[in-house]
Amino acid sequence: MDYLWIKALHIIAVMSWMAGLLYLPRLFVYHAMVEAESVRAQTFKLMERRLLKAIMNPAMILSWTLGLWMFHQNPELLLMPWMWIKFFCVVMMTAAHMVFARMRRQLEQNIALSGKAYRWWNEVPTVLMIVIVIMAVAEPF
């Protein structure tokens, strides 16, 4: 497959993953504000589970697969300092994804953090995304 097609599919997968990473903690904020075991809480549980399992997990796996495929196709990328910063941020994004998955399981068991804590976590993917995009587009180092 042509490198540019791999790159295009990688960007699509990353956009899907980012959409979930930005939306899931927002759902957590609203979920934390409703009474446990209410109809609304059950709706949030369903939405969170489907978002994570049907969109975020496949998008993350595809993002990683296509990104590693690009390394295989263009190993010179690994010689560029900006790529290592970007790669570190992607690892941190994956860690945030795993934290969100744990938070979702806790909410499923009616163990919730404060809405303020979920709002803070909502900013983590945003900051990482900004650094990743700057590294990938501007290649400052």
| 8-63 pLDDT tens trace | 999 999 999 999 999 999 999 999 999 999 999 999 999 999 999 999 999 999 99
What's the pLDDT band for 68 if we cut at 50, 70, 90? very high
Whether residue 1 has pLDDT greater than 90: no
* 62 CB neighbour count, 10 Å cutoff: 17
Token reading at 37: 């075991």
| 86-95 pLDDT tens trace | 999 999 999 9
Residue type, 122: N
- Between the two ends of the chain, the Cα-to-Cα distance in Å is 29
Token reading at 124: 């983590």
| 14-28 pLDDT tens trace | 999 999 999 999 999
CA neighbours closer than 13 Å in the CB half-sphere of residue 56: 25
Q: What are the sequence ranges of the domains in the chain?
A: 3-138
Over range 55-79, report the average pLDDT: 96
Taking CA atoms, 78 is separated from 10, 22, 87, 105, in Å, by 17, 28, 10, 36
Taking CA atoms, 17 is separated from 23, 90, 97, 139, in Å, by 10, 11, 9, 22
| 94-127 pLDDT tens trace | 999 999 999 999 999 999 999 899 999 999 999 9
∠99-27-15 over CA atoms, to 5°?
70
**Whole-prediction pTM:** 0.92
